[in-house]
Amino acid sequence: MPTILGSDPDKWGLSMKGVRMGVKHHFRTIWLSDVHLGYKGCKAEYLLDFLQATHAETIYLVGDIIDFWSMNKTMYWPQAHNEVIRLLLDKVKQGSRLIYVPGNHDEVIREFDGVAFGRMRVCEEYIHHTADGKRLLLLHGDKFDGVIKCSRLAERLGNFGYDLLLYLNRQVNHFRRLAGFPYWSLAGYIKSRVKNAMRHVHNFEQAVTHDARKQGVDGVVCGHIHHPAINTINGILYFNTGDWVENCTALAEHADGTMELIHWSEVRQTMKLLPALEAVVTKAA
C-alpha cells in the first residue's frame, strides 16, 4: 500500500520545509480537476503558480477543466485562463504526458474518447499504475451524483445556491486581500458544516468506491464534488483531487508511489512569507 500524506502541513512535499521561490518540484504524476476555466470563480492565478512551480511525467485532467455550462450562460475568458491552457501545452512539448478525463461541465470532450493527439489523450475512464504497483481507476465522478441523475430541478436550485455561495466567497476574500490576509474558503467552511452537504459527500464516496471494488482496482481518483480527500473506504483507496474554485488543491504522486494532497493556497502564502522570514532569521543570526 502506498504511503499516503494527508492534511498535516509538516508532511506536505511543498510545505514550509520544502518550498523555495524559483525551485521546480518534480513529481511522477499530478492530478487536477474542477478548474472551471471560463467561470468567474476559477482561481486561475493560483493554478498558474502551481503549474510553474511543478513538473510531472504525467498530468491527468480529471474533468471540469473548461466550464462550457458557465460560458453558455455568460462568456467569460480572461487572459489568465488562456495562460493555463498555454502552460499545459508547453508542458506536453517539454515531455509530459497529458490524459484528459472529461467531466459533466466539459462533457462535449467525451465525444473524443480514445482519441490521441501526440502525447495528449482523451479517455472517459482510465487506469493508472502507481510506482509501487497499485491500480487506480480515474474518472470524474458525475455519473454517481444522484442529484444530477434524479432531479433536474434540484440540480438547478443547487447550482443557484452554489453560485451565490461562491460569489460571497469572492467578496470575503477581496476584503481579506485588502487587509493583508491569505485566501480562505468560506464556501468550503460552510459546506463542511451543513449536514445535507456532508451526507451528499458521504454517499458519493460510497458509490465511487463501490464501483471501484466491482472493477477490481485498488483505488479510485475522482473530482466533481469539490471536496479534496485522501481516505480508505471499504478497503478501497479513495482520492479526490478537490478543485480550483474553492480549495486550490491537487493530488500528486512521488517517484516511490507516495501520494499527497497539495493545498496550494496555503503553500502560495508560505512562498510569499518565506523571503521576509528568512531575512529575519539571517538578521537574528
Question: Among 21-30, 77-86, 114-123, where is mean pLDDT lowest?
Answer: 21-30
Output phi, psi for 68, to 5 deg: -65, -30
What domain count does the chain have? 1
Grid cell in block for residue 251: 493530488
Give Cα separations from 207 to 41, 202, 213, 220, 234 (angstroms).
28, 9, 10, 11, 11
For residue 48, being part of any structural domain is answered with yes
Grid cell in block for residue 133: 504497483
Sheet (strand 4-5) strand order: 4-5, 259-263, 249-253, 25-32, 54-61, 97-100, 120-122, 116-117
Cβ contacts of residue 19 below 8 Å, gap of 6+? Answer: 25, 53, 267, 270, 271, 274
- pLDDT at position 12, please? 40
Query: Taking 70 as the threshold, does the pLDDT of residue 211 lie above it?
Result: yes
Grid cell in block for residue 219: 483505488
Q: Which residue has the higher pLDDT, 11 or 120?
A: 120
The 10s digit of each residue's pLDDT in 265-280 is 877 665 554 444 344 3
The 10s digit of each residue's pLDDT in 189-205 is 555 555 455 677 888 99
Query: Taking 90 as the threshold, does the pLDDT of residue 22 lie above it?
Result: no
CATH number at 246 reads: 3.60.21.10
Which H or E run contains 168? helix 152-178
- pLDDT at position 97, please? 98
- pLDDT at position 280, please? 39
- pLDDT at position 164, please? 59
For residue 244, being part of any structural domain is answered with yes
Q: What is the share, in percent, of the chain residues with pLDDT greater than 70?
A: 68
For residue 152, being part of any structural domain is answered with yes
For residue 279, being part of any structural domain is answered with no
The 10s digit of each residue's pLDDT in 142-193 is 998 764 354 443 444 345 555 656 666 666 666 766 777 666 665 555 555 5
For 141, the domain range is 4-15+23-274
pLDDT bracket for residue 107 (50, 70, 90): very high
Q: Tell me how far the alpha carbon of residue 217 is from its chain's centroid.
A: 22
For residue 43, being part of any structural domain is answered with yes
Query: Taking 50 as the threshold, does the pLDDT of residue 125 lie above it?
Result: yes
For residue 282, being part of any structural domain is answered with no
Instruction: Specify the pTM.
Output: 0.77
Which H or E run contains 124? none
Cβ contacts of residue 249 below 8 Å, gap of 6+? Answer: 228, 241, 242, 243, 261, 262, 263, 264
Query: Taking 60 as the threshold, does the pLDDT of residue 77 lie above it?
Result: yes
Grid cell in block for residue 45: 492565478
- Average pLDDT, integer, range 63-89: 96
For residue 83, being part of any structural domain is answered with yes
Output phi, psi for 273, to 5 deg: -80, -25
Question: Among 74-78, 83-87, 195-199, where is mean pLDDT lowest?
Answer: 195-199
- pLDDT at position 261, please? 95
Sheet (strand 229-233) strand order: 126-129, 135-138, 219-222, 236-240, 229-233
Question: Among 27-36, 123-132, 137-146, 192-201, where is mean pLDDT lowest?
Answer: 192-201
- pLDDT at position 267, please? 75
- pLDDT at position 274, please? 41
For residue 285, being part of any structural domain is answered with no
Query: Taking 80 as the threshold, does the pLDDT of residue 50 lie above it?
Result: yes
- pLDDT at position 189, please? 56
